[in-house]
């Protein structure tokens, strides 16, 4: 039986009845609209239902902490999820944990932040709270992404696992941190950056291995630069019409915008169900 490859997917529908493993980014891929007024297009809801009825495996692929994404996962009708930047796995509503950051590098980074007066916070468990040694992080960021609890004397050396580090600094100021380049990091807010895993392909491969599935049977859907890590040659890559140019350049197929039946049209193109 012919495998799906980057070479044949762009112009041919999948007509074999094999089970597919579908991995969806959330914002800009499944969800249309802006922050605070996002919604799932009706056509996407229909496409997901038809994919489930056809027997395919459906999974969310997000960089969010599992505790911050699980409600969204359920609202979207999913029970499987890659979270924590690719390092957390949930299958059939069972969370298999997340891989922490390398502790020695985190300690060096936090020590440097403290020495240079940059407020910081840690994610030491899978909850909606991050921990900070004082109120300076919250005072600087006024952040509403998640709650910050003050833990006097907080020290990364006291924890076996640290999943994220949050550093309060304006764009460009992170260049002062010599320990930062050794760790994966990204910035979603002007006031602070995230030190966290950023490779969704790690989670995809872990799930496929756990399920004993062939990587070639996976299909990934994304729209933004943080989806670039899952756009590898191991499987089929679908970029939304509203995706960034860099992602479109790596896609095997570019569908329409998320709010213009993008998910449905991609599924029809792939032959994942009968239109």
The pLDDT tens digits for 110-142 are 999 999 999 999 999 999 999 999 999 999 999
Give the model confidence (pLDDT) of 62-107 as tens digits: 988 999 999 999 998 999 999 998 999 999 999 999 999 999 999 9
Instruction: Classify 97 in phi/psi space as left (phi over 0), alpha (psi -120 to 50) or beta.
Output: left
Q: Are 203 and 224 in contact (CB under 8 A)?
A: no
User: What tokens were used for 228?
Assistant: 């670039």
The edge-to-edge listing of strands for the beta sheet with 236-239 is 94-98, 88-91, 81-83, 57-61, 21-24, 218-222, 236-239, 253-254
pTM: 0.85
Tell me, what's the pLDDT at 274?
A: 84
So what's the pLDDT on residue 169? 97
Q: Which residues pair with 90 in a beta bridge?
A: 81, 95
Phi, psi of 119 (to 5 degrees): -60, 145
The predicted pLDDT at position 16 comes to 46
The mean pLDDT of the chain is 92
Q: Which CATH number fits domain 103-195: 3.30.1240.10, 3.40.50.2300, 3.30.450.40, 3.40.50.720?
A: 3.30.1240.10
Q: Could you tell me the pLDDT band of residue 11, with boundaries at 50, 70 and 90?
A: very low
Instruction: Judge: domain 16-98+199-270, CATH 3.90.960.10.
Output: no
Domain extents in the chain: 16-98+199-270, 103-195
pLDDT of residue 6: 38
């Amino acid at each position: 039986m012919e495998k799906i490859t980057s070479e044949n997917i762009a112009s041919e529908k999948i007509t074999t009845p094999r089970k597919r493993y579908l991995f969806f980014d959330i914002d800009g891929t499944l969800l249309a609209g802006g922050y605070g007024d996002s919604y799932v297009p009706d056509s996407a809801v229909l496409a997901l239902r038809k994919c489930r009825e056809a027997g395919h495996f459906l999974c969310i692929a997000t960089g969010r902490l599992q505790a911050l994404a699980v409600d969204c996962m359920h609202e979207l009708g999913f029970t499987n999820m890659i979270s924590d930047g690719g390092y957390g796995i949930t299958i059939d509503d069972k969370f298999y944990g997340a891989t922490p950051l390398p502790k020695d590098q985190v300690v060096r980074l936090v020590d440097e932040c403290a020495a240079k007066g940059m407020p910081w916070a840690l994610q030491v468990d899978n909850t909606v709270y991050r921990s900070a040694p004082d109120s300076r992080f919250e005072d600087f960021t006024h952040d509403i992404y998640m709650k910050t609890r003050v833990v006097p004397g907080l020290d990364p050396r006291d924890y076996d696992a640290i999943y994220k580090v949050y550093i309060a600094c304006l764009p460009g100021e992170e260049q002062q941190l010599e320990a930062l380049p050794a760790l994966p990091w990204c910035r979603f807010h002007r006031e602070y950056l995230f030190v966290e895993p950023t490779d969704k392909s790690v989670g995809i491969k872990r799930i496929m291995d756990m399920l004993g599935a062939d990587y070639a049977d996976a299909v990934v859907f994304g729209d933004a630069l943080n989806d670039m890590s899952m756009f590898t040659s191991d499987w089929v890559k679908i970029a939304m019409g509203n995706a960034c140019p860099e992602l479109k350049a790596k896609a095997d197929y570019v569908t329409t915008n998320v709010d213009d039946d993008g998910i449905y049209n991609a599924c029809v193109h792939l032959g994942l169900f009968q239109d």
